[in-house]
């Protein structure tokens, strides 16, 4: 393929980022061709990886790239699940990993100012060291602030504390032709013209490169407790959720989990999930200012669940038990990752979950594929996993590629179609990237797609920034 990265352009780029900031050796940059989406069919080796250390360097790179028509794909922790940071043909990966400073924790305004390459893990530590909390908890702590904002990440605590969008107050963004703009700031309210800050959040690196963010913090979370509640049926479990929410018990998270994957994760971690009766568990996580308040909330949740047909209520009321339950929940992905082809991320009206999950099970039977499905019961975000194995006790027995591959597309199409019919959307938190763009087009009003394309053309007239994503 023709490359626009002539020796002269490469030397200009090297001057911008300095010696350590440019890599072109295929062996060193092969990891920059993919994210956590399992199929390497979509991976693509970049022509070069650039690791700027300052906003001025990002700006100079983009100026040069737009002048030369070189595609640029921003990259954070590459924990994305839909190929969002896979580079375009002939393109550069712009990795924010060296812009990793926590600039300020401003106690008076209760806000943090951080560079885009700070990981979630580092961010939690910096914030908690100062006695604050950042409640959203997307599952992979090696994700970076820029990537989390660019995908508007969510996580299980969204029901009480919202998603990343609800915390971003200000952004420094480099536009595709190199202009550096400040959107919002250390302000809570803002009705000053179109909200370009919110437009940038969730734009998946297609409108601008996020270099710095101002993020709202909350007072530290004091006490947490998990309740695991088994039910005979999925419907009974899901029917409980609106009642819990109406009672104003404000759970931090309400998840529904799948027993097959729990068994496999128990075996991997050599830990025990507290229940084995019934078919579906709700995992309810509570937080409160005092242990006494937690006791009160736990009792009320237990009473509601038992009234709605729960078999039992198991309370993880010691740190050790709490740890065991949360570790099993958070390691499910690791336990089944080797046999997962794709994790879907459909977001539905909450009450549609049982009928949708039943339809997924039906599709699994029709096609003879294992489709474990679980997720965020209180906000309607359902993660169906399309697997290339079948469960047998605590083991996964691989299915030959010749068996799952021909069915894969039809299975996804059938599941997305059911989500659409029920008023759902293709992605609740992972974004569209490369992998879901056909389904976004099929399930979205063409007028809206036209508006989105129009916005893309205004921000990125040369079409260099993460081309081929979303649309």
Ligand X SMILES: Cc1cc2nc3c(=O)[nH]c(=O)nc-3n(C[C@H](O)[C@H](O)[C@H](O)COP(=O)(O)OP(=O)(O)OC[C@H]3O[C@@H](n4cnc5c(N)ncnc54)[C@H](O)[C@@H]3O)c2cc1C
Helix (H) or strand (E) holding 241, with range, is: helix 234-246
Q: Which is nearer to ligand X, 302 or 432 (CB)?
A: 432
**Residues 338 and 321: beta-carbon distance below 8 Å:** no
Helix (H) or strand (E) holding 225, with range, is: strand 223-231
Q: Which is nearer to ligand X, 148 or 237 (CB)?
A: 148
Binding site for ligand X (CB under 6 A): 35-36, 73-81, 84-85, 96, 116, 138-140, 143-144, 146-148, 150-151, 153-155, 204-205, 209-210, 333, 429-430, 433, 466, 469
**Residues 376 and 159: beta-carbon distance below 8 Å:** yes
Among residues 370, 283, 389, the alpha carbon closest in space to that of 330 is found at 283
Q: Which is nearer to ligand X, 311 or 452 (CB)?
A: 452
Least separation, in Å, of the C-beta of 226 and ligand X?
16
Q: Which is nearer to ligand X, 147 or 391 (CB)?
A: 147
Residues 413, 95: Cα–Cα separation, whole Å: 33
Q: Which is nearer to ligand X, 129 or 334 (CB)?
A: 334
Q: Which is nearer to ligand X, 280 or 340 (CB)?
A: 340
Least separation, in Å, of the C-beta of 154 and ligand X?
4
**Residues 387 and 398: beta-carbon distance below 8 Å:** no
Cross-strand pairs, 285 = 226, 253
459-463 long-range contacts, Cβ below 8 Å, gap at least 24? 459/175, 459/176, 459/206, 459/207, 459/208, 460/175, 460/176, 460/206, 460/207, 461/176, 461/177, 462/66, 462/69, 462/176, 462/177
Q: Which is nearer to ligand X, 384 or 466 (CB)?
A: 466
Work out whether strand 92-95 and strand 48-50 pair parallel, antiparallel, or are unpaired. Answer: parallel
Least separation, in Å, of the C-beta of 429 and ligand X?
3
Q: Which is nearer to ligand X, 55 or 315 (CB)?
A: 55
Least separation, in Å, of the C-beta of 379 and ligand X?
11
Least separation, in Å, of the C-beta of 80 and ligand X?
3
Instruction: Record the tokens describing residue 384, joined without a space.
Output: 């169906």
Least separation, in Å, of the C-beta of 299 and ligand X?
29
Least separation, in Å, of the C-beta of 328 and ligand X?
14
Cross-strand pairs, 224 = 287
Among residues 117, 113, 30, the alpha carbon closest in space to that of 75 is found at 117
**Residues 37 and 80: beta-carbon distance below 8 Å:** yes
Least separation, in Å, of the C-beta of 107 and ligand X?
26
Distance of CA 121 to the CA centre of its chain: 15
Q: Which is nearer to ligand X, 46 or 154 (CB)?
A: 154
Least separation, in Å, of the C-beta of 144 and ligand X?
4
Least separation, in Å, of the C-beta of 247 and ligand X?
26
Residues 431, 83: Cα–Cα separation, whole Å: 10
Q: Tell me which residue has its CB nearest to ligand X.
A: 147
Instruction: Record the tokens describing residue 350, joined without a space.
Output: 């909450």
Residues 75, 93: Cα–Cα separation, whole Å: 7
Instruction: Record the tokens describing residue 442, joined without a space.
Output: 């099929």
Work out whether strand 223-231 and strand 218-219 pair parallel, antiparallel, or are unpaired. Answer: unpaired
Q: Which is nearer to ligand X, 61 or 363 (CB)?
A: 61
Least separation, in Å, of the C-beta of 277 and ligand X?
28
Residues 280, 260: Cα–Cα separation, whole Å: 10
Q: Which is nearer to ligand X, 21 or 146 (CB)?
A: 146
């Amino acid at each position: 393929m023709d490359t626009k990265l002539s020796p002269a352009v490469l030397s200009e780029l090297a001057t911008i980022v300095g010696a350590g900031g440019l890599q072109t050796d295929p062996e060193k940059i092969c990891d920059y061709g993919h994210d956590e989406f399992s199929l390497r069919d979509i991976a693509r080796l970049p022509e070069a990886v650039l690791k700027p250390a300052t906003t001025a360097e990002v700006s100079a790179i983009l100026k040069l790239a737009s002048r030369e028509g070189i595609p640029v794909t921003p990259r954070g922790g590459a924990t994305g699940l839909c190929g969002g940071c896979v580079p375009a043909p002939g393109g550069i990966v712009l990795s924010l990993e060296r812009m990793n400073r926590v600039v300020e924790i401003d106690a008076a305004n209760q806000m943090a100012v951080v560079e885009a390459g700070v990981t979630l893990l580092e961010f939690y530590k910096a914030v908690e060291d100062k006695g604050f909390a950042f409640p959203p908890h997307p599952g992979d702590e090696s994700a970076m602030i820029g990537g989390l904002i660019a995908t508007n990440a969510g996580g299980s605590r969204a029901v009480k504390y919202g998603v990343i969008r609800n915390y971003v107050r200000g952004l420094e963004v480099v536009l595709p032709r190199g202009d550096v703009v400040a959107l919002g700031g250390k302000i809570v309210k803002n009705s000053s013209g179109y909200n370009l800050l919110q437009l940038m959040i969730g734009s998946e690196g297609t409108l601008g490169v996020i270099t710095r963010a101002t993020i709202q913090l909350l007072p530290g979370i004091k006490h947490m407790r998990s309740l695991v509640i088994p039910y005979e049926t999925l419907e009974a479990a899901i029917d409980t959720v609106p009642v819990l929410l109406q009672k104003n018990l404000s759970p931090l998270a309400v998840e529904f989990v799948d027993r097959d994957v729990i068994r496999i994760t128990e075996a991997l971690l050599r830990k025990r999930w507290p229940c084995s009766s019934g078919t579906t568990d709700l995992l309810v996580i509570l937080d409160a200012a005092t242990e006494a308040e937690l006791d009160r909330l736990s009792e009320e949740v237990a009473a509601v669940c038992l009234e709605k047909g729960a078999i039992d209520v198991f309370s993880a009321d010691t740190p050790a038990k709490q740890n065991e339950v949360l570790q099993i929940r958070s390691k499910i992905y690791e336990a089944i990752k080797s046999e997962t082809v794709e994790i879907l991320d459909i977001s539905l009206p909450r009450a549609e979950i049982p009928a949708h999950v039943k339809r997924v099970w039906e599709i699994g039977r029709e096609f003879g594929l294992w489709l474990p499905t679980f997720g965020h019961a209180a906000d309607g975000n359902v993660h169906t996993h399309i697997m290339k194995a079948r469960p047998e006790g605590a083991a996964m027995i691989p299915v030959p590629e010749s068996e799952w591959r021909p069915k894969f597309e039809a299975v996804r199409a059938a599941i997305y179609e059911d989500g659409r019919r029920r008023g759902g959307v293709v992605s609740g938190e992972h974004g569209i990237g490369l992998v879901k763009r056909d389904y976004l087009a099929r399930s979205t009003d063409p007028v809206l797609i036209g508006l989105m394309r129009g916005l893309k053309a205004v921000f990125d007239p040369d079409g260099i920034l993460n081309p081929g994503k979303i649309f």
